[in-house]
């Protein structure tokens, strides 16, 4: 008969010892470390790190937006300055008053002829400079403003505020230039073009009387015209200055209207 084994229940002390030894073995193997709870101090540190990263990202994004905005403003300003300072095509006028012109110059006085597109905002400054010029040369200069009326548009299309402003200047007559016949006769291709003829019909000046597109103020063109009319300046050949304005005839070109970079096409 087999001897019975002495079976004894596992005591709690032994169970705890076994568990403790198991934990020690797991810790030595690096297993329990991955399950170790995160201490409050460590958790707060990580939270601060994440918050710091978030703040840094926000600052970087704000800086990038500011840089992009500054670049856009600089680019727009540069484009605007380039546009305003770029002159239009100069006229190729005859050296004397064209005999076939329907515009009759006043006898005994120099005659100024201004060619204008009625929807060109650049030419408003030119009309303003003409008003100053007529005041400075009062009684010694006569002027005619030829306002373009393209073929195919209704009558009165050319009677804009530019027409009215020019007509209000003493000593200035405003005439509709139907189909641009007179402009072509005088060789003008840009709105704002000014031609000055002596009393004997000789060409004295060809150019503009503004410093840039749409800008009023002292400028070489107006000064040259005033000097020639008042006799304080002499020129062996016609004086000239850049002309700033919209194309009179080139429908593929653009010219700014109020607040936009494109003018009404002819």
Give the chain's domains with CATH numbers.
Answer: 111-240 (3.40.30.10)
Q: Per-residue pLDDT for the chain (266 aa), expressed as one digit of tens each? A: 444 555 455 444 454 455 555 545 545 555 444 445 555 555 556 665 565 666 677 777 777 777 776 766 665 555 544 555 688 999 999 999 999 999 999 889 999 999 999 999 999 999 999 999 999 999 999 999 999 999 999 989 999 999 999 999 999 999 999 999 999 999 999 999 999 999 999 999 999 999 987 788 999 999 999 999 998 866 656 799 999 999 999 654 445 444 333 344 43
Structure token digits, residue 254 = 């653009």
Tell me how far apart the terminal alpha carbons of the chain are, to the nearest angstrom.
128
Return d(Cα 206, Cα 2) in angstroms, integer: 137
Residues in the chain: 266
Helix, strand, or coil (residue 147): strand
Return d(Cα 127, Cα 149) in angstroms, integer: 18
pLDDT, residue 215, reads 80
Residue for token pair 């004894």:
8
What's the gap between Cα 229 and its chain centre?
Answer: 36
Return d(Cα 78, Cα 76) in angstroms, integer: 5
Element (H or E) spanning 218, and its range?
A: none
Residue for token pair 């500011």:
66
Smallest CA-to-CA distance from 241 within 72, 126, 119, 103 is with 126
Element (H or E) spanning 153, and its range?
A: none
Residues 93/206, Cβ–Cβ less than 8 Å: yes
pLDDT, residue 60, reads 77
Helix, strand, or coil (residue 237): coil
pLDDT, residue 49, reads 58
pTM: 0.67
């Amino acid at each position: 008969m087999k001897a019975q084994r002495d079976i004894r229940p596992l005591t709690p002390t032994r169970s705890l010892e076994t568990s403790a030894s198991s934990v020690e073995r797991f810790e030595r193997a690096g297993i329990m470390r991955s399950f170790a709870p995160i201490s409050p101090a460590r958790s707060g540190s990580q939270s601060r790190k994440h918050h710091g990263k978030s703040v840094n990202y926000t600052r970087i994004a704000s800086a990038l937006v500011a840089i992009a905005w500054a670049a856009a403003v600089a680019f727009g300003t540069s484009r605007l300055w380039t546009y305003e300072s770029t002159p239009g095509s100069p006229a190729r006028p005859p050296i004397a008053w064209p005999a076939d012109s329907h515009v009759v110059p006043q006898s005994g006085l120099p005659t100024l002829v201004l060619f204008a597109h009625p929807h060109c905002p650049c030419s408003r400054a030119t009309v303003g400079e003409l008003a100053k010029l007529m005041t400075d040369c009062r009684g010694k200069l006569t002027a005619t403003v030829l306002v373009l009326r393209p073929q195919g548009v209704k009558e009165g299309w050319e009677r804009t505020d530019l027409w009215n402003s020019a007509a209000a200047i003493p000593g200035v007559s405003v005439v509709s230039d139907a189909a641009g016949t007179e402009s072509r006769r005088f060789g003008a291709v840009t709105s704002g073009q000014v031609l000055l003829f002596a009393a004997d019909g000789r060409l004295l000046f060809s150019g503009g009387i503004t410093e840039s597109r749409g800008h009023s103020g002292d400028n070489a063109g107006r000064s040259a015209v005033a000097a020639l009319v008042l006799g304080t300046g002499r020129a062996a050949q016609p004086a000239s200055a850049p002309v700033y304005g919209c194309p009179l005839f080139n429908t593929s070109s653009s010219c700014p209207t109020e607040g936009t970079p494109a003018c009404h096409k002819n």
